[in-house]
Every structure is written in structure tokens, then in C-alpha cells.
Structure 1
Amino acid sequence: MLPRLFASALLSLLCVTASAHEYTLADLHIDHPWSRALPPNVPNGVAYFIVHNNGKDGDRLLAVSTPLAEKAELHAHVHIGEVMRMQQINSVGIPAGGEARFEPNGNHVMLFGLKKPLVAGERFPLTLQFEKAGKVEVDVAVQADAPVAGSEPQHH
């Protein structure tokens, strides 16, 4: 009975860990990288995530890349007069003890020249290059809809 209970508990722990969809690199913690599913004829996509910095020093996200697209760039939504536009940015700071959010209507990763459609339920690799922490590859989950506010994994 005890071995069966232990095996069941271990399996439950593995399932929780696998579904957490989080990554750690040095003092940085990346939560729930995701993208929205798109029709097959859409040439560009977007990726989102949250980077928490648990360290005592700030860091910067300098670049992104993926084999799924011809080009990946850091972008932000900026107000120019009365109009909101997307604009490429060189880097995004992650303050010590703080976070940087990549979310709809904010900072995001633009994926230009998709080599295949973004299909719900699939994942694709995205490499994040940080100034101090270095590189980390994350798997971006393609979702039919945006996550509901508060449903993303919470970082403690």
C-alpha cells in the first residue's frame, strides 16, 4: 500500500511540475511564455511572458530568437500623440527585486515571417538573451485564447 501511495504522490508532483511552465536562469524566473493561435495565412505572431528578477542587481533582456520565424524582435506599444503604435526597442530592463511583463498592449516579442502557423496546443522554442544572466530557451505554449487574468502561475 505504501509503495503505491508513494508512486501516486510522485506522479502527482511530476504532473504539477510539468504544468507549471516556468523557467529559471540565475536570479531570473520566467513565467508562462505563451502566444495566441492564428489562422494559417497570418505571417506574423507575438509571444508574451513575465520575467521576475529575484536578485540584488538589475538585468536587461537584449535579444530574442526562434527557429519558428525569420526574425524575432522586442517591441513595445507607445503613444505617439493620440495614436498607439508598436515600436521596436533595443532592450527591456528587469529591475532588482522587480519584474518585466510582456503582455498584450505592452512589451511583447514580435515574430516576423512565421515558418508555420501558430496552432493551439503546440509549443515552440524561444531563446531569451539577457545582459548578465546569459541565454535561456523557453517553450512558448500556443493557446486558443489569452490566459485569464490571475490564471498565470504566481511567483513567490
Structure 2
Amino acid sequence: MNRRTALAGVLALSTGLTLAGCSSSDSKPELKVSGAFMPQPVNDMAAGFLVVQNSGGSSDRLTSVTSPLSDDVTIHETKNQTMRMVTSFAVPAGGELDLERGGNHIMFMKLKQRPKQGDKVSVELHFEKADPIKVDLPVKETTHNPKKQ
């Protein structure tokens, strides 16, 4: 084997390894939030709903939510009509996390004030990999459910 053939082989191998390192499975999550709202609370608790869409090639996890409305904001899953706090929710690559009425949601306890219909509640979503996302939840009527419209 001559030097030119050996050098071409080495270049082809290193180029292949470089391209393999740039595969779409190594890409970052690309998150976007839509459909956010909060039904007007009737007591000192409230719930928030939204969809986190991930158009990236890597999954992520929603790990927490913060808001000036409450110092006690948690995320809950609902299974068999029972709600329980969880530490995170998966946001699959090329998929979405749907926080909706009757299902998984954001829970606000011990509200500092009770927002009224037409107000907006600021929240910040925190993820395992992606940067935090700030979202305003428009306060809707207490019975608002976009899935039933």
C-alpha cells in the first residue's frame, strides 16, 4: 500500500467519524410552548395547562416550574382520577408534553393573590437540558377547556 492510498484511507475514516459525531440523535432539544392557560382560581389553589413541543432530535425533561404567584408550584400527574406530585415529565424528541385538564398539570398552592379572568400569570419552566422558558398563562373562565370547544 502506498502513502497516498493510506492517507486517503485515514482521511475517509476520520471524516466518517466526524460525521457520525454530528448525527441528529446528538442534537439538542428544541422546545416551544403553546396553548398555555390558567382557569380562574376559586380558592387559594390554581392549575396551569400548556403544551411543550420538542422539534429537536433529543428528549428532555420538565423538572420544575416557578412563578411569582406562589412559592409552592409543583407538577402533578393524574392517573385513575388520582393526582400526585412528580419530580419531572418527559418531553420526547420530535414529540410533545401535554399538560391538560383531567391529566398532567402544573399546580399552584397558597396563592399570593387570586388572579382574575383576563390577567396573565408569569411562569418559568425549567428543564434538564434546555434553557428555562418564560411563559404567560392567560387566566380564562373557571370552566375553560380548549379540548371541548
TM-score bucket (shorter structure) = 0.7 to 0.9
Query: Aligned-residue CA RMSD in angstroms?
Result: 1.5
Residue 144 of structure 2 corresponds to which residue in structure 1? Answer: 146
Residue 32 of structure 2 corresponds to which residue in structure 1? Answer: 29
TM-score (norm 2): 0.76
Structure with greater helix share of residues: 2
Residue 53 of structure 2 corresponds to which residue in structure 1? Answer: 52
CA contact (8 A) 1:36 1:118 kept: no
Report the CA distance between 1:135 and its aligned residue: 0.7
Specify every segment of 5 or more residues in structure 1 that has no aligned partner in the other structure, as ranges: 1-25, 152-156
TM-score (norm 1): 0.73
Amino acid aligned to 2:107: M
Percent identical among aligned pairs is: 28
**In structure 2, what is the Cα distance between the partners aligned to 1:95 and 1:62?**
14
Q: Would you say 1:68 and 2:61 are equivalent positions? A: no
Residue 117 of structure 2 corresponds to which residue in structure 1? Answer: 120
SS at match of 2:146: coil
**Number of matched residues?**
120
CA contact (8 A) 1:76 1:86 kept: yes
Distance 1:139 1:111, change over 3 A: same
Report the CA distance between 1:146 and its aligned residue: 1.7
SS at match of 1:133: coil
**In structure 1, what is the Cα distance between the partners aligned to 2:51 and 2:126?**
14
From the CA coordinates, give the structure whose radius of gyration is larger. Answer: 2
CA contact (8 A) 1:63 1:128 kept: yes
Q: Stretches of 4+ moved more than 3 A in 1?
A: none
Q: Would you say 1:110 and 2:110 are equivalent positions? A: no
Structure with greater strand share of residues: 1
Residue 16 of structure 1 corresponds to which residue in structure 2? Answer: none
**In structure 2, what is the Cα distance between the partners aligned to 1:150 and 1:110?**
21
Residue 20 of structure 2 corresponds to which residue in structure 1? Answer: none
Distance 1:96 1:150, change over 3 A: farther
Residue 87 of structure 1 corresponds to which residue in structure 2? Answer: 84
Specify every segment of 5 or more residues in structure 2 that has no aligned partner in the other structure, as ranges: 1-28
